[in-house]
Amino acid sequence: MTQSNLAFKNVSSDLDIQLDPKDAKLSFVHIVVAFFAFLLGVLGGLLQGLARGGIIELPSWLTYYQILTAHGVLLALVFTTYIIFGFFFAGMSKTHGAFSDRLRKSGWIGFILTTIGTAMAATMILANEASVLYTFYAPLQAHYIFYIGLTLFIVGTWISGVSIMIHYFKWKKQHRGEPTPLFGFMATATIILWIVAGLGVAATVLGQMLPWALGMTDEINVLLSRTLFWYFGHPLVYFWIMPAYMVWYLVVPKVIGGRLFSGSLARLAFVLFLLFSIPVGFHHQLMEAGISEFWKYIQTVLTFVVVVPSLLTAFSIFATFEQTGREKGGKGVFSWLKKLPWNDVRFFAPFMGMLFFIPAGAGGLINASFQLNAVIHNTLWVVGHFHLTVGTTVVLTFLGMAFWLIPVVTGRKLTKSMNRSGMVTTWMWSIGMFLMSGAMHILGLFGAPRRTGYTTYQDAPQALEWFQGIFVSHTTVAVGGTILTAAGILMFYNFVYLAWFAPKGHTEFPMTPPPTDTPHTPAILENWKLWIGIAVVLILFAYTIPIYDMINNAPPGSPGFNNIIK
Ligand code: HEM
Ligand SMILES: [Cu+2]
């Protein structure tokens, strides 16, 4: 056996132990917060769907924008972030060994700060003092406590993220010359992305919004703050999708009884995500005045480069499926598909997520194309789009993950009946989302705007049409939303059962054995300084001149608007 073969033998035997119980606890608290946020967020979604469809009328003490803010924040920011860190802490402990007491402690500090921040922001949203939507665009102005909460949230996640990275780099140092475990590599790429992206949001919140909300400045440069937001907002979607891809790359191959097809390809994809998902925020600002076409064009080109690692991912995953199906005796062009474990929620939920990613990705190409963006901008199409991407692809992957991750960290069993319940949840979520998101896409093409409560625009004929179709209708949105909410409540029940009531016992933490090309991983892929360096150069290239312009030729500043939506 060669040296490197020996090395990865060690890695794989490490994989057989369950988690250090203290690490499991840190992971578990994250999952608990995630699912409470999930439940509240989903109920908010139901109210929105019903209110927009004219099926219910909201009471006077609860505004549409208050709910919409809570829904976006709880699901897109809180649920995702917590479940991702729950996954990271557990996965790092599994693949790199237990955290040291010091690192675990900083993980807890990160968790506590993030949670205090969440509570502060959530309180202000509930009090209708921060109905600024989850994008918190100026000139909508929130109570300063909301901005302080946001800052603590970000700083808390940085502390947790750094703890995870240190754990990874310690392993790397102790195993010089060996390829690092894929889990740590991918988690580290994701966290670097998150920290670099977070600098943008920190800059606008601390440098612009907080002084403005505190009354220290009267006006805000709206163009600059929106730009800094989207500098963060696009990588944010990669912060959701990369951990979901980790489940696809590392967990699903094991669940189907195989091993990942190629580790080098997986690492390359993650490096490309890190490089190309940050300098592209302008594709959310294609309709924005004050940014020249040239820079929009540059960032659009970079946006289309990110398609490459997504296609690499699709290739890797399906190659893994085929390889495994064939090893199990599947023959012919497609009959290996029958060998996949279709009744196992740990496979089926992420698989449905992958399936939904095909139309979702196609829609994304439309959004990123300048001329087509003009058609769908700020319509319900966009809402349909991100309910497919984050609301289905990412969420179904995480829900599928929860079925093994929760019992792993609580020392319980994933029972047959829970698996069945998970299958029902997955089907209901898929059907509900197909109806809701499908209708949203088409309504958007017919001109229905996003971010409005119920309105017929003084009975304008065009607006009335949005209530009359069979598929093209706000009613379909409401029906789909109701099915989705039922799925969400069922999922919350699954979570409670797996967390506190399932029988004690052993559940496997599924983790692919190292791919066969692991000993040949090109060393350059592990050269983090190089990748961070290139990422910074690309960011400086794409943003320096436009941001310099926004400051030097600033548009007239805006006072805060904090009463119009009450
Ligand atoms: C029961 C499930 C869900 C229902 C019924 C639902 C429904 C809705 C509706 C009707 C809107 C508002 C459209 C508008 O007025 O523009 C919306 C917005 C939104 N949803 Fe959902 N949704 C659900 C799940 C999710 C999930 C799982 C996520 C993310 C993980 C998510 C993220 C968002 C975001 C980010 C917005 C935009 C908020 C804004 O415009 O500021 N939703 N949702
Ligand atoms: Cu984007």
Structure confidence by residue, pLDDT tens digits, 146-200:
999 999 999 999 999 999 999 999 999 999 989 999 999 999 999 999 999 999 9
377 is catalytic: no
Nearest to 287 by CA among 228, 226, 373, 364: 373
With the C-alpha atoms ordered 29, 34, 37, 39, is the resulting torsion angle positive or negative? Answer: negative
Does the C-beta of 488 come closer than 6 Å to ligand 1? yes
- Which pLDDT does position 566 carry in this prediction? 44
> Which ligand is the nearest neighbour of the Cα of 280?
2
Cis previous bond, 139, omega within 30? yes
- Which residues have C-beta within 8 Å of that of residue 96, sequence separation ≥ 6? 167, 168, 170, 171, 181, 183, 184
The residue to mutate among 356, 383, 473, 475, having the most atoms of ligand 1 within 8 angstroms of its beta carbon, is 383
Rounded CA-CA distance 124/138 in Å is 17
Alpha carbon of 41 to ligand 1 centroid (Å): 8
Please report which ligand is nearest the Cα atom of 382.
Answer: 1
Helix (H, G, I), strand (E, B) or coil at 177: coil
Looking at residue 564, its pLDDT comes to 52
**CA 389 to centroid of chain Cα atoms:** 9
- Tell the residue nearest (CA) to atom 43 of ligand 1: 45
Q: Letter for the amino acid at 74?
A: L
Residue 387 beta carbon below 6 angstroms from any ligand 1 atom: yes
- Averages of pLDDT over runs of 10 residues in the chain (566 residues) are 36 55 97 98 97 93 95 98 98 96 98 98 95 94 97 98 98 93 97 96 96 95 96 96 97 94 94 94 93 94 92 92 88 82 97 96 94 96 98 98 97 97 98 97 96 93 90 92 98 98 95 90 92 96 95 93 62
For residues 533 and 526, give the distance between their C-alpha atoms in angstroms, rounded to a whole number: 13
The structure tokens listed for 553 are 């030729």
Mapping DSSP to helix (H, G, I), strand (E, B) and coil, where does residue 379 land? strand
Nearest ligand for residue 443 CA: 1
Going from the C-alpha of 297 to that of each of 139, 147, 235, 280, 535, the distances in angstroms are 26, 32, 18, 10, 19
DSSP class of 181: P
pLDDT at position 143 is 96
Q: Is 153 helix (H, G, I), strand (E, B) or coil?
A: helix
| Predicted pLDDT of residue 261 | 87
> 128 φ, ψ to 5°?
60, 30
Residue showing tokens 């700060």: 113
Marked catalytic residue, from 147, 450, 474, 492: 450
Q: Which atom of ligand 1 is nearest to the CA of 69?
A: 41
Angstrom CA distances, 324 to 249, 260, 263, 519, stand at 13, 9, 16, 21
Instruction: Collect all residues with Cβ–Cβ distance below 8 Å to 86 and sequence separation of at least 6.
Output: 27, 28, 29, 30, 31, 34, 405, 409
**CB-based contact 534:275 (threshold 8 Å):** yes
How far is residue 415 from each of residues 160, 432, 529, 540, 547, measured CA to CA in Å? 32, 26, 45, 51, 54
Secondary element (H or E) of residue 548: helix 528-552
Q: How far is CA 79 from CA 30, 155, 544, in A?
A: 9, 17, 33
Give the closest residue (by CA) to ligand 1 atom 25: 391
* Residue nearest atom 3 in ligand 1 by C-alpha distance: 45
Q: What is the DSSP letter of 412?
A: B
Whether the Cβ atoms of residue 325 and residue 257 lie closer than 8 Å to each other: no
52 given a catalytic annotation: no
Note the pTM of the prediction, 2 decimals. 0.94
Paired tokens of 297: 């064009």
Q: Exposure of 123 by Cβ count < 10 A (0-12 exposed, 13-18 middle, 19+ buried)?
A: middle
- Check if 389 has its Cβ closer than 6 Å to any atom of ligand 1: no
450 catalytic? Reply is yes
